[in-house]
Structure 1
């Protein structure tokens, strides 16, 4: 935000009266409006409502309300957030397990590793034990069915990079030994770079190597099976 924009917002806030801080009814309405558009977790909804209350506090302070009045109203509004979030959970409008399961499947189908999915869920407030249970249910247990899912996700990643079974075919054979050596060196470098990218994305070395070495027809079949599961 530029200094001029900040000045304009401050001037505008001072030019109009500030309504009281959101009460429980207002927070409930805001929660329902948000949930009608976005899926989230209990922690995510709490953050949304906290930001709304804090925005009110900044407007109230800019409008010149006494600091003690702002603080008292902020405290009351913040205290009302937890009951509203619990109400949403009781209604089924917020379901951390359902959110985690849906997000885990959708992210995996776009080529995210299990480790990346775990980090995504943790960032959105899904508890670690719940995330582990949901991932086992949605993607399969580690070392079993989960490995096949992880391999399929790695194949989707490789396809985006046009690597491994999805690498474009060479148009011509190297003319001599020197060119053949250069081509092999370039191919090895490309493979190393893709493996490094897959490692950064959370894929283990064994899974990444298996994905890059797979037959193209089998690779496509595994992706189709994973996305249709």
Structure 2
């Protein structure tokens, strides 16, 4: 006895608006990302109920314009917030740029967000600060137990490389004698 997949209701302009408001209530988002989320609902409704794709596109554009005018979505604010959160988590600038581009943000918004991040942190080296945050969070290099450091050195370097940091920066952090040396 298998359960049949539940078929969604046909999409209307009002139900699309409700879905958009529910989404932005739960998640910070960019205009392009919200467009993609809503477009998936339109495509699903088209599949099951032959809802017009063009009507859906028109509804989405109208809705996005209204949400942007009401400041429910703001790409510049979203880019700054997301860049700051990723930086504090230990993400390299290269990866921050890539993740913001995936959300459909313009190069101008990304550049403004990275500039704002530099001003906000008042740091000489954002990349080093992010690498230190990652090492501390993942307990890499000097944050690891001393007896296990040498055995995990290559794995720690690989973790830093996957996070988008240069080999030289990763090596400087992983091979540091102590946490105090890093913080100087």
Do these two structures clear the TM 0.5 threshold for a shared fold by scoring above it?
A: yes
Give the match for residue 217 of structure 1: 180
Q: How big is the shift at 1:205?
A: 2.3
Give the match for residue 202 of structure 1: 164
Task: Give the match's secondary structure for 2:73.
Answer: coil
Structure 1 unaligned regions, length at least 5: 61-69, 171-182, 223-229
Q: Is residue 119 of structure 2 the alignment partner of residue 155 of structure 1?
A: no
Partner of residue 22 from structure 1, selected from 12, 17, 28: 12
Cα deviation per residue 1:165-203 (whole Å; 9 max; x = unaligned)? 212123xxxxxxxxxxxx9xx82x632332232122111
Q: How big is the shift at 1:74?
A: 2.9
Give the match for residue 105 of structure 1: 84
Give the match for residue 227 of structure 1: none
Aligned-pair RMSD on alpha carbons? 2.8
Instruction: State how far apart, in whole Å, the 1-side matches of 2:112 and 2:123 are.
Output: 12
Q: How big is the shift at 1:147?
A: 5.4
Give the total of aligned pairs: 181
- TM-score in terms of structure 1 length: 0.68
Q: 1:214 to 1:136 in 2, by over 3 A?
A: farther
Cα deviation per residue 1:69-94 (whole Å; 9 max; x = unaligned)? x26x3321222211211111111100
Instruction: State how far apart, in whole Å, the 2-side matches of 1:103 and 1:91 are.
Output: 21
Q: How big is the shift at 1:134?
A: 0.9
The residue correspondences of 1:25-44 to structure 2 (distance < 5 A) are: 25-44=14-33
Partner of residue 164 from structure 1, selected from 141, 156, 173: 141
- TM-score in terms of structure 2 length: 0.83
Instruction: State how far apart, in whole Å, the 2-side matches of 1:215 and 1:48 are.
Output: 46
Instruction: State how far apart, in whole Å, the 2-side matches of 1:147 and 1:200 are.
Output: 23
Q: Residue 22 of structure 1 contacts residue 53 of structure 1 at CA under 8 Å; is this kept in 2?
A: no
The residue correspondences of 1:89-168 to structure 2 (distance < 5 A) are: 89-139=68-118, 148-168=125-145
Q: How big is the shift at 1:29?
A: 2.7
Q: Detail structure 1 runs of 4+ shifted over 4 Å in the superposition.
A: none
Q: Residue 136 of structure 1 contacts residue 146 of structure 1 at CA under 8 Å; is this kept in 2?
A: no
Structure 2 unaligned regions, length at least 5: none
